Amino acid sequence: MIASNLDEALALTKKFTSKPSNEELLKLYGLYKQATEGDNKGDTPGGFDFIAAAKHNAWLNNIGKSKEEAQEQYISFVNSISSKYI
């Protein structure tokens, strides 16, 4: 199955039978947030919340990308890894 839009790509990730690597999950998260919300304008999480900090940084990695560009990259990335996890 190949996704052709953001909704299909998101649905495809829900069919994964095993969990992608943390690196892949963070890339998916950052691209999805950029595609749906735009640039990350939130404060960096403080303290020892390493997961929140990693997610925040993954989203920051996409700063400046248009929502459309992030959507295209998200769809492409989901399609590229889906064969490993379905």
pLDDT tens for the chain, 86 residues: list them.
799 999 999 999 999 999 999 999 999 999 999 999 999 999 999 889 999 999 999 999 999 999 999 999 999 999 999 999 99
How much is the pLDDT for 46? 84
Query: Is position 1 within any domain?
Result: no
How much is the pLDDT for 52? 96
Question: What is the extent of the structural domain holding 40?
Answer: 6-85
How much is the pLDDT for 25? 98
How much is the pLDDT for 47? 81
Query: Is position 19 within any domain?
Result: yes
Number of domain units in the chain: 1
Residue 77: closest CA among 17, 15, 25 = 25
CATH label of the domain that carries residue 23: 1.20.80.10
Residue 71: closest CA among 41, 1, 79 = 79
How much is the pLDDT for 36? 97
- The structure's pTM equals 0.94
Query: Is position 17 within any domain?
Result: yes
Query: Is position 13 within any domain?
Result: yes
